[in-house]
Amino acid sequence: MPNNKDFVKFAKVDKSYDGKVLVVKDLNLDIAEGEFITMLGPSGSGKTTCLMMLAGFETPTNGEIYLDGNPISNIPPHKRGIGMVFQNYALFPHMTVYENLAFPLRVRKIPKDEIDKKVDKALSMVSLAGYESRMPGQLSGGQQQRVAVARALVFDPAVVLMDEPLGALDKNLRESMQYEIKHIHESIGVTVVYVTHDQGEALTMSNRIAVFNDGKVQQLSSPDQLYESPVNSFVAKFIGENNTFAGEVVDVSKDKCKVKLNGGGEIYANPITVKSKGEKTTVSLRPERALINPDEKMDNSHKGKIEEVIYHGDHTRVRLNLLGNNEFILKIPNSSANLDIKLGNEINIGWDSADARALDPK
Amino acid sequence: MSSETNKILTTDGIPLEESLKKAERKNKIKAFLLVCPLLLFLIITYVFPIGEMFTRSIDDKMITNMLPNTFKSMENWDGQEMPEENVFENFYIDFKKLVQNKEHGKLAQRLNKEKNGFNTILKKLFRQIQRNKIDESGSFKEQITSLHKRFNNVEYWRAIKRTAPPYTMAKYLKGMDLFIDENGGIAQVEEDRRIHRILWLRTLEIAFFVTVFCFLMGYPIAHLLATLPMKYSNLLMICVLLPFWTSLLVRTASWMILLQQQGIVNDFFVMIGLVSDDNRPEMMYNKVGTYVAMTQILLPFMVLPLYSVMKTISPSLMRAGKSLGGTPFVAFWKVYFPLTIPGIGAGCLLVFILAIGYYITPALVGGASGTLISNQIAYHMKTTLDWSFASAMGLMLLTGVLVVYWIYNKLVGVDNIKLG
């Protein structure tokens, strides 16, 4: 695979619909060829707008988008050669599955026998061979979704955009489709730009994730980095589960700081964005990083009272009141059945200060 | 599988079908009672008047009741030779009764329509009866045939026999400029009197073109309505509906103000130098006026069904068409347009059917060359008082509409219509 690092490039892109509010602010994003990149963010964060600008349905108010080195702002959508999978599939309801898939090939004036071959190949890729003559209305949601994916890929586009394609499917189907799309991406090596608000989906499928909020990319990194080392409290809160403590930095060194909590008590944390004493901060800690009755000497160890126990099958969630935070969540694997988890009990909770990330106070 | 063919029973042992029927009966009765008022209303205001129209249009009982004995005795007459004595006798008896009831004039009028010349000879017979000149003990045949040579002409007796059935298709034939000639065959009326066929053709032509114009103008409007943001589309919708809420007469009258020779449109044309002041084009009292006014008035009937269909078409379909490489035109023609066909069908059918029976507008702005068949119907209803002819033409119009509907159903399928 030729690895063009900035195959798709957003350069200083701004977008405003009404001239008053910027939906996308100074977006700079490079997407490598063959990469699976996800734009993740809450609704209204500008991620779909970015996708629409790339597809050509919206024009950037400022800045330029490059595809393989060429600016594309003045190229109409039908000449960009970008495949797109829409949120509601957007299959043509009056055409059969075959005609839907043949549409992009017919408008490109490809000979009939070649169209047949390509349609066959695309349909078997999404394991729908034999469904050529069905109408979209006769297919289930998952099958329609696969036809939509096949249609976006059948004309061998350089880039495929997917706008929350799995939003309408139920949970099981959504998960199996995630793997299917991931495998298709791996086998044909097309560049995929995927938009979703579902973090699980983003973590499962992507090479890199761009977390959007408020028209800006908050963090752009691989799924594990995003989860393990969020760079600000929005990302920490948005991705995965999170225990937070609000407080003020009272002492800071290179890789450790002391935070005086608003609810009373002091903890040690890993200074990510805080630089000096007196700064307000929010300390973020993943539930699975806090341990009960820590054996080794962890630099944070506190007593908490169990407020709620919820059985989740493979694990048990325990809500504690710890250092004035009564929303402190613990995840306990079911193998540790010997622990005395009962409502009202006081237990010892410990964690490493390196896992507690002191971020911006928001 | 077992060989059991027993009916499925409910837990109480009642056959399932029976139990289901019983459970649904109450709902069915309720539903029926709810639609009952409408059903009655439709029967009273629709089925009954149309039935009445139909009987009126083919009714020819008047003459049957006037000459009961004559027709009875004519049953055995083959119509080749002059009728026998008993026919003349019965004719005399019937006619004398009519004279006593002073209804002979009506008979003369009716028979004269069947064959010219009856008026004169029946007047002659009437005078003879008034003066008691007919000897009732003598041969009626001899006395009557001697009154006028036409009584001796078998053609006239055949004409009487033709009027015997209580029903006639004559009004329908007249509506198509045809009539039953002396020999009982169907013939065309003289060329300079064939007005109805021209009117039918003109009605079809105007309805067709009004539909086409409405479609050409309504499609973009409906598209705009369906795609504009809410606050603009509401305003546009009001603009489309506003004329709808204005009285038809007011709208037609405003077109008269606009289109007349000294009207606003002509003034404007003169002002911008398009036409000279002494050569203002006639835009009213001809087809142009009818086209313009009817198109404007019927436009909402095209826009609304189209709009309701377009509203359901997801904008992402057009986007998909474009992103897959279709030019905007291809995306429109291959994706958007086929999906609007149900709305086009509904709109065209609605406009065409309304246009084919349109009355007030052509009557006011149509002039001589812009009137339609419905104006002719109204003319016979109000001026000539030939209600049976008006009924016949009304039914022909209704049949025409049903035929259009049938053809449409064959071509597009009524299931595909979407009225809203």
The pLDDT tens digits for A95-135 are 999 999 999 999 999 999 999 999 999 998 888 888 889 99
Are A176 and A255 in a shared domain? Answer: no
* Rounded Cα distance, B95 and B89, in Å: 10
Phi, psi of B276 (to 5 degrees): -85, 155
The residue from A201, A233, A265 where one domain ends is A233
Classify residue A3: in a domain, yes or no: no
Q: Is A304 on the interface with B (CB under 8 A)?
A: no
Helix B154-162 vs helix B118-130: crossing angle, to nearest 10: 90
Q: CA-CA distance, B207 to B221, in Å (whole number)?
A: 21
Residues near A55 by Cβ (< 8 Å), separated by ≥ 6? A77, A80, A82, A84, A161, B319, B323
A222 and A262 both lie in a single domain? no
Shared-domain flag, residues A305 and A196:
no
Residue A181 in tokens: 């799309």
The CATH number for A342's domain is 2.40.50.100
User: For the CA atoms of B276, B278, B284, B289, what is the dihedral angle to 10 degrees?
Assistant: -10
Q: Do A94 and B338 touch (CB under 8 A)?
A: yes
Is residue A183 located within the same domain as residue A288? no
Sheet holding A291-292, edge to edge: A291-292, A346-351, A300-311, A315-322, A325-333
Domain assignment of residue A1, yes or no: no
Task: Mark yes or no for CB contact B319/A151 under 8 Å.
Answer: no
Q: How many domains does chain A have?
A: 2
For B224-251, write each residue's pLDDT tens digit: 999 888 888 889 888 888 878 888 888 8
Residue B214 in tokens? 């409405």
DSSP assigned state of B191:
G
pLDDT under 70 in chain A at which residues? 1-3, 335-339
Contact B370, B256 (CB under 8 A): no
Mark yes or no for CB contact A86/B327 under 8 Å.
no
Residue A176 and residue A193 in one domain: yes
Do residues B187 and B178 make contact, with C-beta atoms less than 8 angstroms apart? yes
Q: What is the DSSP letter of A188?
A: H
**pLDDT for the residue numbered A339:** 65
The upper half-sphere exposure of residue A320, i.e. CA atoms within 13 Å in the direction of its Cβ, equals 28
Q: What are phi and psi of A351, to 5 degrees?
A: -155, 160
Q: Which residues contact A11 (CB under 8 A, 6 or more apart)?
A: A28, A63, A64, A65, A66
Whole-number percent of chain A with pLDDT over 90: 17
User: Is the CB of A103 less than 8 angstroms away from the CB of B334?
Assistant: yes
Same domain flag for A127 and A25: yes
pLDDT at A22: 86
- The structure tokens 């992507």 sit at A206
| Helix H or strand E encompassing B187 | strand B186-188
Nearest to B170 by CA among B155, B154, B189, B157: B189
Q: Sign (positive/negative) of CA torsion A343, A348, A351, A356?
A: positive
Domain check: are A75 and A108 in the same one?
A: yes
Sign for the CA dihedral angle at A43, A47, A52, A58 comes to positive
**What's the pLDDT band for B2 if we cut at 50, 70, 90?**
very low
Distances (CA, A) of A2 to A72, A192, A206, A218: 21, 15, 19, 29
Instruction: Label residue B107 exposed, middle or buried (CB < 10 Å: 0-12, 13-18, 19+).
Output: buried
What CATH topology corresponds to B196-416?
MetI-like fold (1.10.3720)
State whether residue A84 sits within 8 Å of chain B by CB.
Answer: yes
CB-closest option in A83, A86, A107 to B330:
A107
Distance (Å, whole) CA A202 – CA A209: 7
CATH number at residue A48: 3.40.50.300
pLDDT of the residue at A172: 84
Chain position carrying tokens 């009764």: B97
In a domain, A297, yes or no: yes
pLDDT of residue B415: 67
Identify the pLDDT of residue B306.
92
Residues B155-184, mean pLDDT to the nearest whole number: 81
Amino acid identity of residue B227, one-letter, is T
Q: Rounded to whole angstroms, how far apart are CA atoms B394 and B381?
A: 11
CB nearest to A77's CB, from B322, B334, B335:
B322
**Local confidence band at B417 (pLDDT 50, 70, 90 cut-offs):** low
**B313 φ/ψ angles, rounded to the nearest 5 degrees:** -85, 120
DSSP output for B390-416? HHHHHHHHHHHHHHHHHHHHHHT-GGG
Helices (H), A126-232: 141-153, 171-188, 199-205, 223-228
- Its domain, for residue A348, covers 241-359
Q: How far is it, in rounded angstroms, from Cα A47 to Cα B254?
A: 53
What lies within 8 Å, CB to CB, of A224 at 6+ separation is none
Q: Which of B126, B129, B92, B131 is nearest to B109 (CA)?
A: B126
Q: Which of A203, A233, A263 lies at the terminal end of a domain, its last residue? A: A233
pLDDT at site B414: 66
Give the CA distances from residue B95 to residues A211, B75, B309, in Å, rounded to whole numbers and listed in that order.
105, 18, 67
Interchain pair B331, A78: CB under 8 A = yes
Name the residue type at position A204: T
- CB of B413 within 8 Å of a chain A CB? The answer is no
- pLDDT reported for residue B221: 92
Of the candidates B317, B326, B338, the beta carbon closest to that of A90 is on: B317
Residue B209 pLDDT class (50, 70, 90 cuts): very high
Q: Are strands A257-261 and A243-252 parallel, antiparallel or unpaired?
A: antiparallel
In this structure, what is the dihedral angle of CA atoms B257, B258, B261, B266, given to the nearest 10 degrees?
150
A30 closest CA partner among A60, A4, A52, A49: A4
Report domain extents, chain B: 61-166, 196-416
Question: Can you give the three-state secondary structure of B355-366, one letter per residue?
Answer: HHCCCHHHHHHC
Cα distance between residue A111 and residue B362, in whole Å: 55
State both tokens at B161.
Answer: 């026999």
Instruction: Choose the final residue of a domain: A233, A249, A272.
Output: A233
A76 close to B (CB below 8 A)? yes
3-state DSSP assignment of residue B66:
helix
CA–CA separation, A275 vs B116, rounded Å? 119
DSSP for residue B385: -
CB contact under 8 A, B316 and A94: no
Tokens of A252: 């800071």
Residues in chain B with CB shorter than 8 Å from the CB of A80 are: 323
CA dihedral (A87, A93, A96, A98) positive or negative: negative
Q: Is B327 on the interface with A (CB under 8 A)?
A: yes
How many A-B residue pairs are in contact by the CB < 8 A criterion?
68
B321 and A103: CB-CB below 8 Å?
A: yes
Mean pLDDT of B346-370: 86
Q: Are residues A43 and A90 in the same domain?
A: yes
In a domain, A333, yes or no: yes
Q: Would residue A166 count as lying in a domain? A: yes
Radius of gyration of chain B (CA): 32
User: What stretch of H or E contains B24?
Assistant: helix B16-42
Domain shared by A302 and A161, yes or no = no
What is the arrangement of strands in the sheet containing A70-71, beginning at the earlier edge strand?
Answer: A22-31, A8-16, A62-67, A70-71
A55 contact B CB<8A: yes
Q: How far is CA B281 from the centre of its chain?
A: 33
Please tell me the distance in Å from A79's CA to the nearest CA on chain B.
6
Residue B63 makes CB contacts below 8 A (sequence gap 6+) with B107, B110, B111, B163
Q: Are residues A331 and A347 in the same domain?
A: yes
Here the tokens at position B53 are 């129209």
Closest-CA residue in chain B for A157?
B324
Residue closest to A101 by CA, chosen among A69, A128, A76, A64: A128
- Global pTM reads 0.77
